[in-house]
C-alpha cells in the first residue's frame, strides 16, 4: 500500500463500503470497555460488524486509524500493540480502532482484505489504505503524520480523551513571549500607519543590540513600505516595462513585486537588471537586491537561491 503524501483526492473511492450492512445492535450494546462505538472518550476501541458504521461516522470529528488483524496470528496481535503505543505517543490526536476479521466477516468482505494485518485511515467517513503487513514504529509515525495533515485539510481536528492523556494545561502550546518594548512600539506604530516612528523604534533596537535580526528585518520591511507609499502600481510597472535598463524603474517595480508577495519575481527582476547594466547602475541594482534579501529574511530558501543567481550574473 502507498506511503506517499496523501491529498484530498485520496479520500475518494479508496474502498467501496456500499455493501457494508449495519446489523441491528443488541439492546444496550456498546464498544470495547463500555464505550459507545466511535466514542471520543477512548483511545483504542474494538470494532465489530455491528459498530463499524458508527466508527466510520465518528471519523467526521476526529481521525481514526483502523487495523484489521486476526486472533489466529500472533504477529498481528503484536502489531496492534505497536499501534497502541504509537496512539498513546500522539496523545489522542487520532483514535485507534481494531477489528478481528475472524469474527467480523462483513468488515473482512467490505475492505476486501487478502492478508492481515492491514491498516486504513478513516477521515470524514472515507477510508484511505495505508499499508499492509507489520511495519516498524518509526515508519508508522511518518504515515500517521501524513494522515493528520490530510485530516486537517478536511477540517477534521478533534481529539480523543483517555486515561493518561496530558492535562489541558500540558497539552496547550507555550505562549509566545511578549515583544520587547521597542519592537512593540514599532509594531504599534505600523498598525497606526506611522512608519517614521516604527523606523525610529527599530533603529533604536539595533543600536541597543546590533545582532537583533528581527529588528533588521523589521526596519527593511518598514523602509519598503515607505518607498512604495502613494505609488501608482500600474504606472510604475509600465515605466519598468518601457525601459529594462532604467534602474530606478526596475527597483520600484521590484519593491511592488515584493510587497505583493511575488518574491521570486522581485529577485529575478533585479538580477536581470544586474545582467543588463554596468558600473554604477549595476551596483545600485545589486545593492538594492541585497536590501530586499533583508526584507524577506536571510534564512529564506528563496534568498539563498537568488544569491546564487546574483553571483552568476556578476561573474
Supply the CATH number for residue 155's domain: 3.40.30.10
Q: Are residues 234 and 163 in the same domain?
A: no
Give buried/exposed letters for 228-261 (b at 16+ CB in 10 A, else e).
beeeeeeebeebbeeeeebbebbbbbbbbbbbee
Q: pTM for the full model?
A: 0.48
pLDDT at 39 over 50: yes
- Please say which residue of 170, 191, 223 terminates a domain: 170
**Candidate from 13-22, 222-231, 252-261 with smallest mean pLDDT:** 13-22
Q: Are residues 32 and 166 in the same domain?
A: yes
pLDDT level of residue 153 (50, 70, 90 thresholds):
confident
Q: Which helix (H) or strand (E) holds 238?
A: helix 233-242
* Number of structural domains found in the chain: 2
Say what percent of the chain tops pLDDT 90: 43
What is the rounded distance in angstroms from the CA atom of residue 123 to the CA atom of residue 118?
Answer: 17
- Please say which residue of 170, 191, 220 terminates a domain: 170
- 270: phi > 0 → left, psi -120 to 50 → alpha, else beta; which? alpha
Give the mean model confidence (pLDDT) for residues 291-310: 84
pLDDT level of residue 20 (50, 70, 90 thresholds):
low
Q: Are 3 and 139 in contact (CB under 8 A)?
A: yes
Amino acid at each position: 500500500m502507498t506511503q506517499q503524501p496523501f491529498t484530498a483526492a485520496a479520500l475518494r473511492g479508496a474502498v467501496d463500503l456500499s455493501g457494508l450492512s449495519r446489523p441491528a445492535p443488541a439492546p444496550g450494546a456498546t464498544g470495547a470497555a463500555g464505550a459507545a462505538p466511535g466514542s471520543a472518550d477512548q483511545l483504542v476501541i474494538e470494532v465489530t460488524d455491528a459498530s463499524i458504521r458508527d466508527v466510520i461516522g465518528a471519523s467526521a470529528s476526529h481521525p481514526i486509524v483502523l487495523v484489521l488483524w486476526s486472533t489466529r496470528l500472533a504477529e498481528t496481535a503484536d502489531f496492534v500493540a505497536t499501534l497502541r503505543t504509537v496512539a498513546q505517543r500522539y496523545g489522542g490526536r487520532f483514535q485507534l480502532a481494531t477489528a478481528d476479521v475472524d469474527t467480523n466477516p462483513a468488515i473482512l468482505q467490505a475492505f476486501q482484505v487478502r492478508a492481515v494485518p492491514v491498516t486504513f485511515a478513516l477521515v470524514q467517513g472515507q477510508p484511505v489504505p495505508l499499508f499492509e503487513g507489520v511495519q516498524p514504529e518509526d515508519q508508522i509515525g511518518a504515515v500517521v503524520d501524513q494522515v493528520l495533515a490530510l485530516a486537517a485539510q478536511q477540517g477534521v481536528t478533534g481529539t480523543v480523551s483517555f486515561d493518561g492523556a496530558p492535562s489541558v494545561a500540558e497539552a496547550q502550546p507555550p505562549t509566545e513571549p511578549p515583544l520587547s518594548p521597542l519592537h512593540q512600539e514599532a509594531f504599534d506604530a505600523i498598525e497606526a500607519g506611522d512608519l517614521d516612528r516604527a523606523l525610529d523604534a527599530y533603529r533604536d533596537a539595533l543600536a541597543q543590540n546590533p545582532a537583533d535580526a528581527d529588528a533588521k528585518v523589521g526596519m527593511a520591511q518598514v523602509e519598503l513600505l515607505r518607498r512604495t507609499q502613494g505609488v501608482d502600481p500600474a504606472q510604475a510597472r509600465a515605466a519598468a516595462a518601457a525601459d529594462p535598463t532604467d534602474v530606478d524603474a526596475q527597483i520600484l517595480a521590484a519593491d511592488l513585486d515584493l510587497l505583493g508577495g511575488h518574491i521570486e519575481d522581485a529577485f529575478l527582476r533585479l538580477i536581470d537588471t544586474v545582467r543588463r547594466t554596468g558600473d554604477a547602475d549595476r551596483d545600485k541594482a545589486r545593492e538594492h537586491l541585497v536590501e530586499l534579501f533583508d526584507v524577506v529574511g536571510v534564512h529564506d530558501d528563496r534568498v539563498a537561491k537568488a544569491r546564487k543567481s546574483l553571483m552568476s550574473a556578476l561573474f
